[in-house]
Structure 1
């Protein structure tokens, strides 16, 4: 985020508003294009962010942050263009959906928000021998910063760790605070690449297998086979989330 905001700062500093944002310094969109590496500068980024607060509503800032968490170069370009438009306009641009960048940010934020809610719904924990509740996830977008508050509020009385296999970091709650942690997920789950995860190689609590089976039995008991509608089921619970869910495990 700091780097992106510094690109906006530089654009106004040198009046270069048609820049193409890239996360790779070696990317080139044309033979004669000039690549400029913009160094991260906290004070420059803070000036831009405070300026956006004056030009954009809290909802607009939220959408800006959500779009950034999409971790997509196209989304970053829209954020850059949106910032230029916001600072250049004399009006509030939050609802100017006729502008492609305003519309794009709203759409990206909606996708990231949907992924956030799905992670909050579909994360399943395994209880380890030491009492830690552990879950491995692989969301499409970087939603760990967004789901932290939900899990801290909901599971205040137990230690838990939610680890993002794709981005190689996790959030750990120690009954007081939430910390970022870094580790090798393959040490925990050697079957990550198989598609169905949560088959942990670490020692689980003795009752974990029992609770796992109880959950599967409950799922089977409330399921009405005659009314099975796989198409509708996949619409509400896409297959890429099944790997987190005990009742879907092979």
Structure 2
């Protein structure tokens, strides 16, 4: 038997789905799946770095959709819980959807299923909490701005709610724990990696042209990495 592999991906949901595709396609024996920012080497495991490929991620997601719409939500929400070891647990859950009953029983899939449903519900509750408590200020350039610090990574889930609540209004929501923001520009939603280093800025949004500050790399209070086009990850697009 081949040595078990530790698969390392870029930390995105599409990257995770690409990893699932690679495992199935190559029949890999998996020891673990790890975000590249949290890599821990195993004593007897080889590491394999997986490059994100959207078309492969989409194929996995569409396959899951054909099996179960409920599973789609459970998988995505549980993934956003950022629970340690969630990637391997989700891989086992997804594999069980295609495996026979004997395989499912051996893997203790019932316990895994219960945990995934639990994590999914926790993320759903946090999504609703953030939607209820987020406070917005209006910047000088007429952008609604809010800073939040959710327990789980729920920013990808809340833009639809605010696009409906503030129809025709541009907004930016910043996650101070994970150092990124979502920006709705009235056409699309982008994910912006940045770090707000000044509490004074956050507290005095009304006197700032926030878009210019965020997108200007030379502004000393912000470190702005290249912008990443936001995609609806539940569709793996």
> Structure 1-normalised TM-score?
0.66
Q: Does the aligned pair in 1 maintain the 2:138–2:205 contact within 8 Å?
A: no
Question: Deviations for 1:110-168, whole angstroms, at most 9, x for unmatched residues?
Answer: 11101100000000112333333221111122211211111111111543321112233
Of residues 18, 25, 28, the one that matches 2:41 is: 28
**Counterparts of 1:45 and 1:38 in 2: how far apart (Å)?**
12
Q: Could you say what the CA RMSD is over the residues aligned between the two structures, in angstroms?
A: 2.8
CA drift of 1:12 comes to: 2.3
CA drift of 1:17 comes to: 4.5
Which has the higher mean CA deviation after the structures are superposed, 177-186 or 2-11? Answer: 177-186
> Aligned in 2, Cα 1:5/1:123: closer, same or farther, shift over 3 Å?
same
Question: Deviations for 1:53-76, whole angstroms, at most 9, x for unmatched residues?
Answer: 222x21210111111222334211
Name 1:150's counterpart in structure 2: 161
Name 2:4's counterpart in structure 1: none
Question: Is 1:203 aligned to 2:211, yes or no?
Answer: no
Question: Deviations for 1:193-220, whole angstroms, at most 9, x for unmatched residues?
Answer: xxxxx5336627xxxxxxxxxxxxxxxx
Name 1:37's counterpart in structure 2: 49
Name 1:47's counterpart in structure 2: 59
Name 1:131's counterpart in structure 2: 142
Q: Does the aligned pair in 1 maintain the 2:18–2:57 contact within 8 Å?
A: yes
Of residues 81, 102, 105, the one that matches 2:92 is: 81
**Counterparts of 2:17 and 2:172 in 1: how far apart (Å)?**
31
Name the structure where strand makes up a greater proportion of residues: 2
- Count residues in correspondence: 191
CA drift of 1:107 comes to: 0.9
**Counterparts of 2:34 and 2:177 in 1: how far apart (Å)?**
21
Of residues 74, 77, 84, the one that matches 1:63 is: 74
> Aligned in 2, Cα 1:203/1:15: closer, same or farther, shift over 3 Å?
same
Name 1:105's counterpart in structure 2: 116
Q: Tell me which structure has the larger Cα radius of gyration.
A: 1
CA drift of 1:34 comes to: 1.7
Instruction: Give unmatched runs, 5+ long, in structure 2.
Output: 1-12, 209-237
Larger relative contact order, structure 1 or 2 (CA cutoff 8 Å, min sep 6): 2
Question: Is 1:171 aligned to 2:182, yes or no?
Answer: yes
Secondary structure at the counterpart of residue 65 of structure 1: helix
Instruction: Give unmatched runs, 5+ long, in structure 1.
Output: 192-197, 205-250
Secondary structure at the counterpart of residue 21 of structure 1: strand
**Counterparts of 2:136 and 2:158 in 1: how far apart (Å)?**
15
